């Protein structure tokens, strides 16, 4: 148990050391390739969990994962960018096409594939790819680079405080049938940790920009609470998937954590919601 805990801590530190510098390269291909790696490995781990890791399923799934990241930042590849609205249509088309393909496998090979598993697998692959592409697209929105670090702050601060304090003071189970080790006390501590992380980040930004940037602390606290809750639900969703399909971890690439999805489960959920929030704000400014 102690060895596993030590592995988790060491791996977590390494992930932070590798990821933190990338937060300063949001307008380069560095973040694109980083999140593309998360998408490619994450999709593979999902399909393996569903026992759908056949080459004729992996190739189109991974192709969509790579294509989504490439077309989102064509200017960095020396090509002309595609408008955000058109990008959305392309993503929807690729997602529908992939899910339709999985449905077709259930139709023509019913003894090998059932429509429930294939449909759910398609939906989850789209979810993971959306979670990996959202941070990249967020960087393309005006001032989105300021919100980009909040994705990782929400996931990491929530996880660290929930895990650390939950082990010490957790008495009431949060979702015992899904994740027996998680507690209500740990969840509350995770929310508190995220509030602390958001406030520290806001102070650092204001100091860095010599108070040219201001922050509404009530709004900051409300946002921190909501994103911490979303982060924890995202974690529980992936735990439910693993339990439903009988796997302990999605992979073994990260000692002490499991697979990429075991570490990026919260980030996936948070990134989608932050991108949606900023997109709605951007659209609202157009009509106001």
Angle between helical axes of 184-208 and 144-169 (0-180°, round to 10): 150
Does residue 107 form part of some domain?
yes
- Kindly give the pairing relationship between strand 179-183 and strand 173-175: antiparallel
Instruction: Count Cβ neighbours within 10 Å for each residue of 17-54 and write b for 16 or more, e otherwise.
Output: eeeeebbeebeeeebbebbbebbbbbbbbbbbbbebee
Please report the pLDDT score of residue 287 as a whole number. 46
Please report the pLDDT score of residue 1 as a whole number. 53
Please report the pLDDT score of residue 207 as a whole number. 79
- Residue that is written with structure tokens 């090979």 in the block: 109
Claim to verify: residue 85 and residue 167 sit in the same structural domain: no
Does residue 182 form part of some domain?
yes
| Token pair in block for residue 35 | 């999140």
Please report the pLDDT score of residue 170 as a whole number. 80
| Nearest-angstrom CA–CA distance, 22 and 251 | 24
Please report the pLDDT score of residue 211 as a whole number. 56
End-to-end CA distance of the chain: 56
Claim to verify: residue 259 and residue 191 sit in the same structural domain: yes
Does residue 5 form part of some domain?
no
Total domains in the chain come to 2
Does residue 19 form part of some domain?
no
Claim to verify: residue 70 and residue 148 sit in the same structural domain: no
| Nearest-angstrom CA–CA distance, 158 and 236 | 13
Does residue 130 form part of some domain?
yes
Query: Considering 89, 105, 138, which residue would you say is the last residue of a domain?
Result: 138
Please report the pLDDT score of residue 28 as a whole number. 83
Claim to verify: residue 241 and residue 129 sit in the same structural domain: no
Q: Which helix (H) or strand (E) holds 36?
A: helix 29-49
Does residue 208 form part of some domain?
yes
pTM score of the predicted model: 0.90
* Distant-in-sequence, close-in-space partners of 43: CB < 8 Å, separation ≥ 6: 58, 61, 62, 65, 125, 128, 129
Claim to verify: residue 112 and residue 150 sit in the same structural domain: no
Does residue 23 form part of some domain?
no
Query: Considering 113, 138, 163, which residue would you say is the last residue of a domain?
Result: 138
Please report the pLDDT score of residue 154 as a whole number. 93
> What does each of the 288 residues of the chain score in pLDDT, given as a tens digit?
556 666 777 777 788 788 878 777 778 888 889 999 999 999 999 999 999 999 999 999 999 999 999 998 888 877 788 877 788 889 999 999 999 999 999 999 999 999 999 999 999 999 999 999 998 888 887 777 778 889 989 998 999 899 888 888 888 898 888 888 889 999 999 999 999 999 998 888 877 776 555 667 788 899 999 999 999 999 999 999 999 999 988 988 877 678 899 888 999 999 999 988 887 776 666 544
Claim to verify: residue 68 and residue 182 sit in the same structural domain: no
Claim to verify: residue 155 and residue 268 sit in the same structural domain: yes
> Bridge partners of 175?
179
Does residue 11 form part of some domain?
no
| Token pair in block for residue 162 | 């929930």
| Nearest-angstrom CA–CA distance, 92 and 197 | 34
Query: Considering 90, 118, 138, which residue would you say is the last residue of a domain?
Result: 138
Q: Would you call 145 exposed, middle or buried from its count of C-beta atoms within 10 A (0-12, 13-18, 19+)?
A: middle
Angle at 49 between CA 255 and CA 112, to 5 degrees: 155
Claim to verify: residue 164 and residue 50 sit in the same structural domain: no
Claim to verify: residue 126 and residue 177 sit in the same structural domain: no
Claim to verify: residue 203 and residue 248 sit in the same structural domain: yes
Claim to verify: residue 107 and residue 170 sit in the same structural domain: no
Helix and strand counts by DSSP (H, E) for the chain:
9, 2
Claim to verify: residue 159 and residue 86 sit in the same structural domain: no
The answer to whether the beta carbons of residues 226 and 219 sit under 8 Å apart is no
Domain that holds residue 220: 143-288
């Amino acid at each position: 148990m102690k060895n596993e805990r030590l592995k988790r801590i060491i791996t977590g530190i390494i992930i932070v050391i590798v990821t933190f510098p990338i937060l300063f390269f949001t307008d380069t291909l560095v973040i694109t390739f980083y999140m593309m790696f998360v998408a490619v490995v994450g999709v593979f781990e999902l399909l393996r969990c569903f026992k759908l890791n056949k080459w004729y399923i992996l190739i189109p799934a991974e192709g969509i994962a790579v294509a989504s990241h490439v077309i989102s930042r064509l200017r960095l590849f020396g090509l002309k960018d595609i408008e955000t609205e058109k990008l959305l249509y392309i993503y929807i088309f690729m997602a529908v096409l992939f899910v339709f393909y999985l449905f077709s496998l259930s139709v023509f090979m019913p003894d090998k594939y059932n429509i429930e598993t294939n449909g759910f697998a398609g939906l989850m692959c789209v979810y993971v790819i959306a979670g990996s592409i959202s941070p990249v697209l967020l960087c393309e929105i005006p001032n989105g680079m300021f919100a980009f670090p909040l994705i990782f702050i929400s996931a990491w601060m929530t996880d660290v405080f929930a895990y650390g304090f939950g082990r010490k003071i957790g008495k009431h189970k949060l979702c015992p049938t899904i994740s027996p080790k998680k507690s209500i006390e740990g969840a509350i501590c995770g929310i508190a940790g995220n509030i602390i992380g958001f406030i520290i980040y806001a102070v650092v930004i204001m100091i860095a920009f010599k108070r040219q940037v201001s922050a509404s602390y009530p709004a900051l606290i409300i946002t921190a609470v909501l994103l911490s809750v979303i982060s924890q639900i995202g974690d529980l969703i992936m735990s439910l998937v693993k339990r439903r399909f009988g796997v302990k971890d999605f992979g073994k690439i990260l000692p002490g954590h499991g697979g990429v999805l075991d570490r990026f489960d919260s980030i996936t959920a948070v990134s989608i919601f932050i991108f949606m929030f900023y997109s709605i704000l951007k659209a609202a400014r157009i009509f106001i």
